[in-house]
Structure 1
Amino acid sequence: MSEINTLAAFYAFSGGALWLLGSLLFIGFDKVNTQANRWLGAFYFILACSFTQLFLEEFEIGGSFLIHLLELPRWAMLPCLYMAVTGYVSPSLPKKDKLLHFVPFLLFLVFSLVYLMPKFFNGQYHLPILPPWIGFIVRYFSFGQMVYYWIVCFLLLRRHQKNIKRVSSFTDKIDLEWLRYLLISVLVLIFIRILSISSIHVTYYSPILYFLGIILLAYSTLSQKSIYAIEAYQPPEKDGIAPQKVLNERLTAEQVEELKSIVTRKTDSEKLYLDPSLTLSVLSGKIGISTHELSYVLNNGLGKSFYQFINELRTEEAKSLLLSEDTKHLDMLGVAIRAGFNSKTTFYTTFKKATKLTPKEYIKANSKTS
């Protein structure tokens, strides 16, 4: 019994860590993503309630009323995560219909007040007998909710990471990579829950496994970067293609070819790509066309996103710099900055994707042939 209690004590560690993490988010350790952080903090508070409940149940502390109070907000947990993710991926857009996501929680709250709470105070009350399927929903709805909202949050993040490549030539500080690791940590917790239902061995060690998952969750959260809106997103697009019906009426095939020539010539000859903060709207202003037209020309005329188009030009610039005698004194970060990249990571990734070689391998390969 003592060994089981020792393992179950990790529920208290997990709950305590989540209470602390939620408090940090509410206090505002990041002054930029305040609203999204508060939704995420609410998610952690409700998750902390779940682990506190598990701890109290395991050690038989507190009454059934306290246990039920800790369970009450559970149906609001994943909607809070969803609201946090939408706040991170689109901080400047209004959140419509957010109350709809909390309707199941409100229904469960009403159900508890009518059917469950009275029995903690007075056992003599008469209410209609509910059909069995309602009991099934109450028992398993939160699990289905977890799976559904995790998938929705992951798709939102993927769409964000695709969108930023349509409007920006740099993604290092705005790609929300930390949020991907956070969602993976949440998925780990979901898998532990599934496995603990089907395997007694996993159930036995689940307090420790949950605690390790919470550590991953905390690390991902605390490593987040502030998100500043670089420019407004374009209207939603399907499959990465701009609204074709409108643009097809505006641009003929000949006009697309003409604009493609202007875009490539002006961007290359004036070396506009050397600006590390270059965005779709900035380039469209320099060329003299709208952002929608520029996006359409890049996607359909060149078959590239804005991110690909600009960073391929930067890669070509980097090739020249790597082999130039005038830049031999520069290290790789210096070459990256001179070529227009805003980080060495983006430089290495883009360069290797284009050449199948690292910058140093490229220098060696071309030194042998020269």
Structure 2
Amino acid sequence: MLIHLIQILVFSSFLLLSFIMLSNPLKVNRKANVLFGMFLFLWATFFLDEILILIKAPPLGGIASLTIAFFQFLTPILFYISVVFFTNPNYKFKKQTIIYLILPCIYLGVLILNFIGNSSLQMILVLLLIGHAFLYTLLSYLKIRKHQRKINLFSSNISEIDLNWLVYIIGAIIFTSITIAIFNSIYFGLPLNLYANIIMLGIAFFIAYHSLRQKEIFPKNEKHRKEVISIEKDEKKFDIIKRKLIEDEDLVRLKSKLNSLMKESELYLNHDVNLASLSEEMKVTTHQLSYIINKGFNQNFFQFINTYRVQKAKELLSDTSTDKLSILGIAYESGFSSKTTFNTTFKKLTNQTPSEFKKQRSNL
């Protein structure tokens, strides 16, 4: 039957994805991907009962069932912690992180009481599962949104590191965590219907596509990495105390130097240019460079670099000798790493898409 095939594909897809994330063949975002792989493995276990029914094996019971149920409860936590490491690869666990264990301990206690015969606790278990899933998916979403604001401070190409693919699956996590928990509690021993399994398979393919396209979010150079990670915290501190990092006369001089460097060396054409690498070219600290860009140009790093890229793109689009280049080719020649970012940024700064700008030139 079709449903049986899909059930096997769903279960095996999550297991395979888990293995890929744990082995991390691309060697990017290592700690985050290990945790994400563990999350996917636990997610796969939610489909274990269906597979056992399919192969006509006896359902898990006793200690095995209790143990799996407890580890399944940890699924949202693992997702959240993986997000934490995606947004800060230098994150260190502290004593305060023991708070993560409070709800799991409560759940384990209720689970044990339910196991020894107090079946009236089943609804409490469901509520704990739902509340736990909602809490950590919400925290994950807020963490990703904070990250998306932060990367504008140090990266010039954010579309590949903004973690939007994780935002897109948060809804799926809520759906699967809540729906499967309720379904298994009410209809224990029955397989999920065909449509639910098709949705799960689609989610697995979606995760596979986006997780395998990952880029290293932070600079590989450890010194650069530490500097850009500290940027957001220091920016807040500077805002609070209104600290002037550079005197006004020096700011004018450094602003001119930066402008000349960008025009003469065209560093913005490097897809991987970031705040740390540019600060080395300027022979200033990352915090000083951020201050120069913020106060001198009234922009963040992303806006600053892409202003030059858009200007370069306008020059290329206006040059008839580049007509053989596609819009994507123009984007690459201008320093952009994706057509989507190019179109979005170009329109924001010119109120036209690159195609509209080129067509307008042709009509003159």
- Tell me which interval the TM-score lies in, with the shorter structure as reference length: 0.7 to 0.9
The change in CA–CA distance for 1:272 and 1:18 in structure 2 (over 3 A counts) is closer
From 309, 321, 333, the counterpart of 2:316 = 321
Paired amino acid for 1:71: A
Does the 8 Å CA contact 2:310/2:346 hold for their aligned counterparts?
Answer: yes
Paired amino acid for 2:108: L
Distance in 2, matches of 1:305 and 1:262, equals 17
Paired amino acid for 2:341: T
Paired amino acid for 2:162: D
Please name the residue that 1:88 is paired with.
86
| 1:74-85 equivalence runs, <5 A | 74-85=72-83
The change in CA–CA distance for 1:104 and 1:244 in structure 2 (over 3 A counts) is same
User: How many residues matched?
Assistant: 350
Does the 8 Å CA contact 1:311/1:350 hold for their aligned counterparts?
Answer: yes
Q: Which runs of 5+ in 2 are unaligned?
A: none
Please name the residue that 1:109 is paired with.
108
Please name the residue that 2:169 is paired with.
182
From 261, 268, 272, the counterpart of 1:273 = 268
TM-score by length of 1: 0.76
Does the 8 Å CA contact 1:21/1:218 hold for their aligned counterparts?
Answer: no
TM-superposed CA distance for 1:247, in Å, is 6.2
| 1:220-239 equivalence runs, <5 A | 220-224=207-211, 225-227=214-216, 229-230=218-219, 231-232=224-225, 233-235=228-230, 237=232
Distance in 2, matches of 1:242 and 1:62, equals 56
Please name the residue that 1:342 is paired with.
337
TM-superposed CA distance for 1:308, in Å, is 0.8
| Structure number, greater radius of gyration | 1
Matched, 1:213 2:209: no
For each residue in 1:88-139, what CA deviation from the matched residue of structure 2 results, as whole angstroms up to 9, or x when unmatched?
Answer: 22224334455542343244335545x35556xxxxxxxxx9xx9x876544
For each residue in 1:327-351, what CA deviation from the matched residue of structure 2 results, as whole angstroms up to 9, or x when unmatched?
Answer: 3443434433332323434323322
Distance in 2, matches of 1:363 and 1:63, equals 65
The change in CA–CA distance for 1:313 and 1:47 in structure 2 (over 3 A counts) is same
The change in CA–CA distance for 1:144 and 1:264 in structure 2 (over 3 A counts) is same
Does the 8 Å CA contact 2:111/2:125 hold for their aligned counterparts?
Answer: no
TM-superposed CA distance for 1:171, in Å, is 2.4
The change in CA–CA distance for 1:323 and 1:262 in structure 2 (over 3 A counts) is same
The change in CA–CA distance for 1:68 and 1:254 in structure 2 (over 3 A counts) is same
Matched, 1:360 2:359: no
Q: Helix, strand or coil for the counterpart of 2:232?
A: coil
The change in CA–CA distance for 1:196 and 1:8 in structure 2 (over 3 A counts) is farther
The change in CA–CA distance for 1:218 and 1:331 in structure 2 (over 3 A counts) is closer
Q: CA RMSD in A?
A: 4.0
The change in CA–CA distance for 1:206 and 1:253 in structure 2 (over 3 A counts) is farther
Distance in 2, matches of 1:34 and 1:220, equals 17
Please name the residue that 1:124 is paired with.
none
Matched, 1:140 2:127: yes
Q: Which runs of 5+ in 1 are unaligned?
A: 120-128
Percent identical pairs in the alignment equals: 25
Please name the residue that 2:147 is paired with.
160
Distance in 1, matches of 2:60 and 2:326, equals 65
TM-superposed CA distance for 1:29, in Å, is 4.4
TM-superposed CA distance for 1:17, in Å, is 3.7
The change in CA–CA distance for 1:190 and 1:70 in structure 2 (over 3 A counts) is closer
For each residue in 1:209-247, what CA deviation from the matched residue of structure 2 results, as whole angstroms up to 9, or x when unmatched?
Answer: 254134323432343224253242242637975623566
Does the 8 Å CA contact 1:75/1:104 hold for their aligned counterparts?
Answer: no
For each residue in 1:154-191, what CA deviation from the matched residue of structure 2 results, as whole angstroms up to 9, or x when unmatched?
Answer: 12222222222211212243333432333243244357
TM-superposed CA distance for 1:270, in Å, is 4.2
Matched, 1:297 2:292: yes
Please name the residue that 1:68 is paired with.
66
Matched, 1:40 2:39: no
Distance in 1, matches of 2:254 and 2:216, equals 33
Please name the residue that 1:123 is paired with.
none
The change in CA–CA distance for 1:325 and 1:248 in structure 2 (over 3 A counts) is same
TM-superposed CA distance for 1:145, in Å, is 1.1
